[in-house]
């Protein structure tokens, strides 16, 4: 098997990939995650997942490289990483009582052969009606400033939801393992 690389510096994505019990390296990609003008969210995450894998290929020329990117969309507004408390509060306030759709793009690149396969995971999250005090308590505990949509479903963020609809709970954390296993199998990596 070729060496596996996760083109991400996210400790959460690394923890998820660790569930597969495969040896892998991690590297940040340095890719600008800004959307293009009028770019639909599914196109955005697929483009960025591939760009992250391609950026890592410069350092890892004979590897299987995993790229992943995620955005949340609520009421037609794309919610990326809020960056700070004020941004997170605004995002969570917008999502209160509403459905948010999470798009997670996934790319697997064989950097030696130049072969690329991509996939897309879509998950719907239904937020509880949340008041200002609840949002502040959540932000005091979690500080989700580097998370699309301003929450961590793997932590206290689960308390914000009334329901989740999706095929893979790992996708909400940023790495859809079910789809990744399918891609890895296509590249000859047998799991399990």
Q: What is the mean pLDDT of the chain?
A: 93
Does the pLDDT of residue 17 top 90, yes or no? yes
- 80 pLDDT band, cuts 50/70/90, is confident
Does the pLDDT of residue 1 top 70, yes or no? no
Rounded to whole angstroms, the maximal C-alpha distance in the chain is 53
- pLDDT in the model for residue 45: 95
128-166, pLDDT tens digit by residue?
999 999 999 999 999 899 888 998 888 888 999 999 999
36-63, pLDDT tens digit by residue?
999 999 999 999 999 999 999 999 999 9
45 alpha carbon, distance to own chain's centre? 9
- pLDDT in the model for residue 151: 86
- 81 pLDDT band, cuts 50/70/90, is confident
Pairing of strands 24-26, 3-6: parallel
Cβ count near 171 (within 10 Å)? 26
Gyration radius (Cα) of the chain, Å:
17
Q: Which residue do the tokens 């917008």 mark? A: 94
190 in Cβ contact with 155 (< 8 Å): no
- pLDDT in the model for residue 82: 93
Question: Residue 121 catalytic?
Answer: no
- pLDDT in the model for residue 8: 92
Q: What percent of the chain has pLDDT over 90?
A: 81
Mean pLDDT of 91-110: 96
Residues comprising the chain, all counted: 192
**Cis check: omega of the bond before 192, within 30 degrees of 0:** yes
- pLDDT in the model for residue 156: 85
- 185 pLDDT band, cuts 50/70/90, is very high
| Active-site residue (options: 69, 110, 121, 168) | 69
- pLDDT in the model for residue 154: 80
CATH topology of domain 3-186: Maf protein (3.90.950)
Backbone angles phi, psi at 54, to 5 degrees: -65, -40
Does the pLDDT of residue 119 top 90, yes or no? yes
Does the pLDDT of residue 190 top 80, yes or no? yes
Residue 76 CA to residue 125 CA, distance in Å, equals 15
Check residue 192 and report its DSSP letter.
Answer: -
């Amino acid at each position: 098997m070729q060496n596996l690389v996760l083109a991400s510096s996210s400790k959460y994505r690394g923890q998820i990939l660790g569930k597969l019990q495969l040896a892998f390296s991690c590297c940040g990609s340095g890719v600008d995650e800004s959307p293009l003008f009028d770019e639909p969210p599914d196109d955005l995450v697929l483009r960025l997942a591939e760009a992250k894998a391609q950026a890592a290929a410069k350092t890892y020329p004979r590897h299987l490289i995993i790229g992943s990117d995620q955005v949340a969309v609520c009421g037609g507004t794309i919610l990326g990483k809020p960056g700070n408390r004020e941004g997170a509060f605004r995002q969570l306030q917008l999502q209160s009582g509403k459905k948010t759709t999470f798009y997670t793009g996934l790319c697997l690149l064989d950097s030696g052969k130049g072969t690329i396969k991509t996939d897309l995971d879509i998950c719907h999250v239904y937020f509880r009606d949340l008041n200002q005090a609840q949002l502040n308590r959540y932000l005091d505990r979690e500080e989700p400033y580097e998370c699309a949509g301003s929450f961590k479903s793997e932590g206290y963020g689960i308390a914000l939801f009334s329901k989740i609809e999706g095929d893979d709970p790992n996708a909400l954390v940023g790495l859809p393992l079910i789809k990744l296993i399918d891609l890895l199998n296509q590249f000859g990596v047998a799991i399990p």
